[in-house]
């Protein structure tokens, strides 16, 4: 056994590299190893904690893999029916305009069954944040084709690969909502490596700060992976995502407001 | 403040009563024959006076989910529609019932199935009273028979919804929605400032976080929740039955009818009595809970019951269950947007008395 | 006292608004009232009708098939509703465009040529007020004073400048209505 005195010296505030956010509960997450959801949750929790807005934030969770999101973040939550989160959030924000409201939705929820709710909330410029996690597949129900599944990509309902002639083309919802006058800040990020985690965190902080300006909908797409659904190891899935998803869903800002938030973003 | 007398359409009365009841939000989508409700609210623009939010949603589906969101914040929120639109709302309604949220839903019924007709009907009784959406749940269902009641039941509906944390449906129809009558409007109430302890308003350090959901994957816990709902529904059945009797004291023949049909039957009672037939009318005001006990009591007194409905025969099943075979129960109905006339109702009663079917 | 009235004609003839004015006037006169319109696409250019009930007692059914008075403003409505007048009741019609005149022998029939008169008065929009004036002459269930008040109540503020013209038409209707057959 090694000498423990050395470890005690290491555990000191100046050496702290990572601390679990107070906003995260002790509930064990149900996500598969390597899944991007848990990282996205952690970023969200950190922002709520750092901005000090726990008692002013209401989240709307979706139907899909992140259906149990309300178990993991210690804030008030509403669980929406499949695809309806933007409608639920619309009413919450209109009735409690001083609060921070966000939805967290997957690609099936946001870009298939909830297309109308998504587009109309953005078009009305509802003043909340939509976090859109796009992994190109229905994870929760066992790997079926999503509206964002890439051409040729295999899933349990496109076993020979997505044939765009019969199954349609993948829908770029983020590009669509960026064209709507109601959206204020639209960006596409990922959480598969530390530098992108930092970028996503910066984007999310901006989005919450923009919400105070009351200028319209903020929309953050997080292009993510699904090791189980894609039938890959976590490392393979991230590599596949970089090689296949990013060319189709390029990362970066799609709409950036000229006006900057009152508070400048903290440096991450 | 005193009540104010107005001449209004039923639809307009709902809208004005909502503002006066201190509603926090209305979310709707236009559909005949109830679009006057959202038109009235948009014109009245209560956001400037009471702060009530009025929003035209992109669909009935979105509107009911907005109601879910607003109700989850502990706010007094409502939506209105007519039959095809109410079908679209069923998903949201069962989620609202499952999350035990209070809200008011108004159905100004038109004839179906499908796109059907825009004329009045009572063919959504089963949908309102027996289910509509999936799962074991009940709405509290109020059936107005006048413009006055369309106004009064807004406030009553919210009161019941919050008392039981349960969605309330006002089951009206195109006739009452479109017709004008005198209505005494209650003085405006302030919007409530009290926040229910279950509402999502942002988690302060002083309480656990609130989660509005209808999801429970563990069957043991889901069953416990279902049992809790049953207890609630039983309490509602015990305490909230409402009905009106018209000339029942000495009645030998009983009409059972709600809403517009009850108005027709009231006239039919007068006409029948002019011809020496001792008819009476029981008008259920709540369709859930149903006035079964009172009907069972009347079954000891009358010779037959005739359920009169603008449907193929829906409520008649509840009349039969209530009397449990004590007396013959018949149905007389018109469909497709047709409204029975008092004369034809009396003629039908006379045939039943003679024993013809 | 109960007066059950049907008004039927083309959409755009002011059928529904005439009924509305009667209903408002009834409220002012402390009566029970109901106003039950036909509604929907048929209103837009097609036929329109409304049942107005004025009563000193609580109104049971707002939907009835037989009327004390039927006010008929086109041929289709005459064909459809002539038989709906109660025996001994009143039928008032505008002769404009009528090719088959009422044939019932068991009712009183009056004719008010309001369309013609309105065009003579160069006041086509108050056509329905001429008809209403005629009705009030035959069935004075509402006082002229209360009808004017009802008119004010049912017209939006911005149209109140038109009230004198409407009043004139009401009075003209009283003058021109003709008795065709007294039962």
Q: How many CB pairs under 8 A join B and C?
A: 65
Q: How far is B74 from chain C (nearest CA, A)?
A: 37
- What is the tens place of the pLDDT at every residue in A198-229? 999 999 999 999 999 999 999 999 999 999 99
Contacting B residues, span 61-90, partner chain A, CB-CB under 8 Å = 61-63, 65-70, 72-73, 75, 77
B280 is written with which tokens? 């009476």
Q: What b-and-e string marks burial along B224-263, b requiring 16 or more CB atoms within 10 Å of the CB? A: eeeeebeebbeebbeebbebeebbbeebebbbbbbbbbbb
Mutate to test the interface with A, among B28, B56, B65, B102 (most CBs of A within 10 A): B65
> Is pLDDT at C127 greater than 80 in this prediction?
yes
Q: Does B338 touch chain C (CB under 8 A)?
A: no
When pLDDT is averaged across residues B180-206 and rounded to a whole number, the result is: 96
DSSP state of C36: E
Minimal CA–CA distance to A74: which of B208, B213, B69, B72? B208
The H-or-E segment that residue C118 falls in is helix C114-120
pLDDT above 90: percentage of residues in chain B: 98
Q: State the virtual CA torsion across A211, A212, A213, A219 in degrees, nearest 10.
A: -10
The ipTM of this complex is 0.95
Asked if B277 and B158 sit in the same domain, the reply is no
- Identify the band that residue A61 occupies on the pLDDT scale cut at 50, 70 and 90: very high
Question: Within 10 Å of residue A25's Cβ, how many Cβ atoms?
Answer: 15
Helix (H, G, I), strand (E, B) or coil at A110: helix
Lowest mean pLDDT across A129-133, A252-256, A260-264, B51-55: A260-264
> Is pLDDT at A264 greater than 80 in this prediction?
no
Strand partners, A76: A58
Q: What is the pLDDT of chain C when averaged over all its residues?
A: 93
Q: How far is B218 from chain C (nearest CA, A)?
A: 50
pLDDT number for residue A5 = 67
Q: Chains with ≥3 Cβ pairs under 8 A against A?
A: B
Q: Are A136 and A106 in contact (CB under 8 A)?
A: no
- Identify the band that residue A263 occupies on the pLDDT scale cut at 50, 70 and 90: low
pLDDT number for residue A3 = 61
Residues of B in contact with A79 (CB under 8 A): 99, 211-215
Q: How far is C75 from chain B (nearest CA, A)?
A: 23
- What is the tens place of the pLDDT at every residue in B305-351? 999 999 999 999 999 999 999 999 999 999 999 999 999 999 999 99
Distance of CA B46 to the CA centre of its chain: 24
Which residues, 6 or more positions from C142, have their beta carbon under 8 angstroms from its beta carbon? C22, C25, C26, C29, C54, C136, C150
DSSP state of A102: E
- Identify the band that residue B131 occupies on the pLDDT scale cut at 50, 70 and 90: confident
Q: Does B179 touch chain A (CB under 8 A)?
A: no
Mutate to test the interface with A, among B51, B202, B214 (most CBs of A within 10 A): B202
> Is pLDDT at A72 greater than 50 in this prediction?
yes
Minimal CA–CA distance to A217: which of A177, A264, A188, A252? A177
Residue B230, in any domain of the structure:
yes
When pLDDT is averaged across residues A247-266 and rounded to a whole number, the result is: 79
pLDDT above 90: percentage of residues in chain C: 85
Residue B213, in any domain of the structure:
no
For tokens 């305490």, what's the residue? Answer: B239
Q: Does B25 touch chain A (CB under 8 A)?
A: yes
Q: Is residue B309 classed exposed, middle or buried when 0-12, 13-18 and 19+ CB atoms within 10 A define those classes?
A: buried
- Asked if the Cβ–Cβ distance from B118 to C40 is below 8 Å, we say yes
Residue B108, in any domain of the structure:
yes
**Alpha-carbon distance B150 to A73, whole Å?**
43
Q: Does B191 touch chain C (CB under 8 A)?
A: no
Strand partners, C181: C109
- Asked if the Cβ–Cβ distance from C61 to B263 is below 8 Å, we say yes
> Is pLDDT at A268 greater than 60 in this prediction?
no
Minimal CA–CA distance to B85: which of B33, B9, B43, B121? B33
**Alpha-carbon distance A75 to B209, whole Å?**
5
Question: Within 10 Å of residue C182's Cβ, how many Cβ atoms?
Answer: 8
When pLDDT is averaged across residues C159-176 and rounded to a whole number, the result is: 94
The H-or-E segment that residue B41 falls in is helix B35-44
**Alpha-carbon distance C49 to B220, whole Å?**
59
Instruction: Give the β-pairing of B53-56 and B25-28.
Output: parallel
> What φ, ψ does residue B285 adopt, rounded to 5°?
-95, -40
Q: Enumerate chain A positions whose Cβ falls within 8 A of a Cβ in B.
A: 54-58, 60, 67, 70, 74-81, 84, 87-92, 94-96, 99, 116-117, 120
> Is pLDDT at A265 greater than 70 in this prediction?
no
Residue B219, in any domain of the structure:
no
Which residues, 6 or more positions from B2, have their beta carbon under 8 angstroms from its beta carbon? B187
- Identify the band that residue C45 occupies on the pLDDT scale cut at 50, 70 and 90: low
> Is pLDDT at A57 greater than 50 in this prediction?
yes
- Asked if the Cβ–Cβ distance from A90 to B92 is below 8 Å, we say no
CATH number of the domain to which B322 belongs: 3.40.50.920
Q: Is residue B82 classed exposed, middle or buried when 0-12, 13-18 and 19+ CB atoms within 10 A define those classes?
A: buried
pLDDT number for residue A241 = 98
Residues of A in contact with B99 (CB under 8 A): 79
Left (φ > 0), alpha (ψ -120 to 50) or beta: where does A52 sit?
Answer: left
Q: Domains of chain C: which residue ranges? A: 2-181
When pLDDT is averaged across residues C123-146 and rounded to a whole number, the result is: 96
- Asked if the Cβ–Cβ distance from C36 to B175 is below 8 Å, we say yes
**Alpha-carbon distance B103 to B169, whole Å?**
8
> Is pLDDT at B32 greater than 80 in this prediction?
yes
> Is pLDDT at B24 greater than 70 in this prediction?
yes
When pLDDT is averaged across residues A140-156 and rounded to a whole number, the result is: 95
Q: What is the pLDDT of chain B when averaged over all its residues?
A: 97
Q: Is residue A224 classed exposed, middle or buried when 0-12, 13-18 and 19+ CB atoms within 10 A define those classes?
A: buried
Residue B210, in any domain of the structure:
no
What would the CATH number be for the domain defined by A24-255?
3.40.50.970
| Nearest beta carbon to residue B266 from set C23, C39, C61 | C61
| Nearest beta carbon to residue B179 from set C36, C41, C64 | C36
B333 is written with which tokens? 């109905």
- What is the tens place of the pLDDT at every residue in B94-111? 999 999 999 999 999 999
Asked if B168 and B269 sit in the same domain, the reply is no
Instruction: Give the β-pairing of B286-288 and B140-142.
Output: antiparallel
Q: Does B266 touch chain C (CB under 8 A)?
A: yes
When pLDDT is averaged across residues B62-82 and rounded to a whole number, the result is: 98
Number of domains chain B is built from: 2
Residue B146, in any domain of the structure:
yes
Q: How far is B279 from chain A (nearest CA, A)?
A: 49
Q: How far is B276 from chain A (nearest CA, A)?
A: 57
Residues of A in contact with B69 (CB under 8 A): 60, 78, 80, 87-92, 95
Q: Are B185 and B20 in contact (CB under 8 A)?
A: yes
Minimal CA–CA distance to A167: which of A178, A189, A151, A191? A151
Mutate to test the interface with B, among A65, A81, A110 (most CBs of B within 10 A): A81
| Nearest beta carbon to residue C65 from set B118, B263, B341 | B341
Range of the domain at B274: 244-354
**Alpha-carbon distance A184 to A187, whole Å?**
10
B192 is written with which tokens? 């409530």
Which residues, 6 or more positions from A166, have their beta carbon under 8 angstroms from its beta carbon? none
- Identify the band that residue B357 occupies on the pLDDT scale cut at 50, 70 and 90: very low
Q: How far is A117 from chain B (nearest CA, A)?
A: 6
Q: What b-and-e string marks burial along A98-136, b requiring 16 or more CB atoms within 10 Å of the CB? A: ebbbbbbbbbbbbbbbbebbbbbbbbbebbbbbbbbbbb
C-alpha angle B47-B48-B50 in degrees, rounded to nearest 5: 65
Q: Into which CATH architecture does domain C2-181 fall?
A: 3-Layer(aba) Sandwich (3.40)
Mutate to test the interface with A, among B50, B73, B77 (most CBs of A within 10 A): B73
Mutate to test the interface with C, among B182, B283, B338 (most CBs of C within 10 A): B182
> Is pLDDT at C40 greater than 80 in this prediction?
no
pLDDT number for residue B1 = 76
C-alpha angle B54-B175-C158 in degrees, rounded to nearest 5: 55
Helix (H, G, I), strand (E, B) or coil at B346: helix
pLDDT above 70: percentage of residues in chain A: 94
pLDDT above 70: percentage of residues in chain B: 99
> What φ, ψ does residue A113 adopt, rounded to 5°?
-70, -25
- Asked if the Cβ–Cβ distance from C63 to B175 is below 8 Å, we say yes
Asked if B311 and B231 sit in the same domain, the reply is no
- What is the tens place of the pLDDT at every residue in A112-142? 999 999 999 999 999 999 999 999 999 999 9
């Amino acid at each position: 056994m090694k000498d423990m005195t050395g470890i005690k010296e290491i555990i000191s505030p100046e050496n702290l590299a990572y601390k679990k956010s107070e906003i995260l509960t002790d509930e064990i997450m149900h996500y598969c190893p390597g899944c991007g959801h848990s990282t996205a949750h952690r970023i969200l929790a950190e922002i709520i904690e750092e901005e000090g807005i726990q008692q002013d934030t209401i989240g709307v969770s979706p139907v899909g893999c992140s259906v149990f999101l309300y178990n993991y973040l210690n804030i008030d939550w509403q669980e929406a029916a499949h695809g309806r989160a933007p409608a639920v959030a619309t009413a919450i924000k209109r009735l409690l305009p001083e609060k921070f409201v966000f939805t967290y939705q997957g690609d099936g929820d946001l870009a298939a069954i909830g297309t109308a709710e998504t587009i109309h909330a953005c078009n009305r410029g509802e003043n909340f944040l939509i976090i859109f996690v796009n992994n190109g597949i229905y994870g929760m129900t066992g790997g079926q084709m999503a509206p964002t599944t890439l051409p040729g990509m295999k899933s349990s309902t496109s076993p020979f690969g997505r044939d765009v002639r019969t199954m349609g083309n993948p829908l770029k919802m983020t590009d669509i909502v960026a064209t709507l006058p109601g959206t204020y800040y639209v960006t596409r990020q990922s959480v598969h490596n530390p530098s992108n985690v930092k970028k996503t965190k910066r984007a999310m902080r901006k989005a919450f700060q923009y919400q105070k300006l009351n200028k319209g909908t903020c929309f953050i797409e997080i292009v993510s992976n699904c090791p189980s659904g894609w039938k890959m190891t976590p490392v393979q899935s991230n590599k596949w995502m970089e090689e296949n998803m990013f060319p189709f869903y390029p990362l970066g800002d799609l709409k950036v407001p000229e006006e900057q938030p009152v508070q400048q973003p903290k440096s991450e | 403040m005193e009540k104010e007398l107005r001449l209004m359409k039923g639809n307009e009365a709902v809208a004005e009563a909502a503002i006066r009841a201190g509603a926090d939000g209305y979310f709707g989508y236009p559909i005949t024959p109830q679009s006057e409700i959202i038109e009235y609210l948009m014109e009245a623009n209560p956001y400037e006076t009471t702060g009530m939010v009025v929003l035209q949603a992109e669909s009935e589906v979105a509107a009911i989910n907005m109601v879910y969101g607003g109700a989850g914040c502990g706010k007094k929120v409502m939506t209105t529609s007519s039959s095809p639109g109410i079908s679209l709302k069923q998903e949201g309604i069962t989620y609202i019932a499952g999350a035990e949220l209070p809200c008011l839903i108004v159905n100004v019924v038109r004839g179906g199935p499908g796109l059907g007709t825009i004329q009045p009907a009572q063919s959504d009784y089963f949908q309102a009273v027996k289910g509509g959406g999936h799962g074991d749940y009940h709405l509290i269902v109020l059936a107005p028979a006048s413009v006055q009641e369309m106004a009064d039941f807004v406030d009553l509906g919210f009161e019941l919804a919050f008392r039981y944390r349960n969605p309330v449906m006002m089951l009206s129809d195109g006739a009452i929605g479109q017709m004008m009558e005198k209505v005494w409007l209650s003085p405006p109430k302030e919007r409530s400032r009290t926040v229910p302890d279950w509402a999502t308003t942002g988690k302060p350090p002083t309480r656990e976080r609130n989660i509005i959901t209808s999801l429970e994957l563990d069957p043991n816990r889901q069953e416990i929740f279902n049992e809790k709902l049953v207890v609630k529904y039983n309490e509602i059945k015990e305490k909230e039955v409402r009905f009106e009797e018209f000339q029942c004291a000495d009645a030998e023949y009983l009409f059972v009818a709600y809403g517009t049909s009850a108005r027709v039957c009231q006239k039919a009672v007068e006409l029948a009595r002019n011809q020496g037939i001792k008819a009476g009318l029981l008008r259920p005001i709540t369709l859930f809970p149903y006035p079964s006990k009172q009907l069972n009591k009347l079954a000891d007194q009358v010779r037959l019951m005739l359920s009169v409905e603008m449907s193929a025969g829906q409520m008649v099943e509840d009349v039969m269950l209530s009397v449990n075979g004590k007396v013959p129960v018949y149905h007389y109905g018109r469909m497709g947007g047709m409204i029975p006339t008092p004369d034809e109702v009396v003629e039908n009663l006379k045939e039943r008395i003679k024993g013809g079917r | 006292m109960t007066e059950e009235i049907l008004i039927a004609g083309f959409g755009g003839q002011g059928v529904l608004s005439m009924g509305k004015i009667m209903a408002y006037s009834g409220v002012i006169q402390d009566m029970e009232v109901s106003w039950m319109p036909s509604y929907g696409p048929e209103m837009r250019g097609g036929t329109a009708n409304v049942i107005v009930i004025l009563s000193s007692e609580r109104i049971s059914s707002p939907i009835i098939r037989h009327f004390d008075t039927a006010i008929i403003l086109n041929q289709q409505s005459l064909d459809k509703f002539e038989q709906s007048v109660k025996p001994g009741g009143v039928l008032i019609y505008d002769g404009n465009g009528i090719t088959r005149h009422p044939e019932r022998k068991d009712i009183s029939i009056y004719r008010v040529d309001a369309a013609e008169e309105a065009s003579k008065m160069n006041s086509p929009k108050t056509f329905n007020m001429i008809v209403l004036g005629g009705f009030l002459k035959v069935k004075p269930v509402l006082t002229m004073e209360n009808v004017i008040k009802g008119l004010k109540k049912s017209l939006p503020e911005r149209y109140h400048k038109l009230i004198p013209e409407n009043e004139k038409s009401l009075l003209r209707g009283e003058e021109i209505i003709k008795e065709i057959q007294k039962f």
